[in-house]
Structure 1
Amino acid sequence: MPTELLAFPPAYTVVGAYRLWNDPTIRAPVVAKLKHATIRGLAVGAAYAIFGWGVMDWVVRRFMVRGRVGERVSVGAGSVALSVDLVLYTHIMWLLPQLSRMLKFFIKKNLRIARGRAYNLTLTSRGKPEEFWSKSYYEEWAQPPQPTREQARAWGARKHREPWVSWMLWWPSQMLIRQYILFPLSPALPLLAPLAIAGMRALGTAEYLHQPYFQGKRMGSDEIWRWIEERKWAYRSFGFCASLLEGIPILGLWFSVSNRIGAAMWAHDLEKRQHLFAHHILQPLAPSQVGIFGSGNGLEITPEVVAAEKRIEAKWSARPAYIPPEIQDDGEDTPAINAGPPPLPPRDAPPAYSEVPASASASARRQPPQLPPRLPPRPKA
Structure 2
Amino acid sequence: MIFRFSLYGFLKNLRFFEAFLILALRERGFDFLAIGTLISIREITTHILEIPSGAAADAWGRKLCMVGSMSAYVACFLLLGAAQSFAPMAIAMVLYGLGDAFRSGTHKAMIYTWLRSQGREKEKTAVYGYTRSWSKMGSAISALIAAALVTWSGNYASVFYWSALPSFLNVVNLASYPKALDGGCHGLKKGLFAATWQTLVDSFREFKNLGPLRRLVGESVAIEGSYEVVKDYLQPVLQTAALTLPVMAATPAVHRTAWVTGITYAVVFAAGSAASRRAHRWESTCGGNEPATRHLLLLSGIVLALVPVTLIAHLPWLAAGGFVALGLMQNLWRPIHVGRFDENSSEGIGATVLSVEAQAKSVAAAVWAPLLGACIDASTANSEPLSPQALWPIGLPALPLLIAWLCRRPAKMAPA
TM above 0.5: no
Question: Which has the larger helix fraction?
Answer: 2
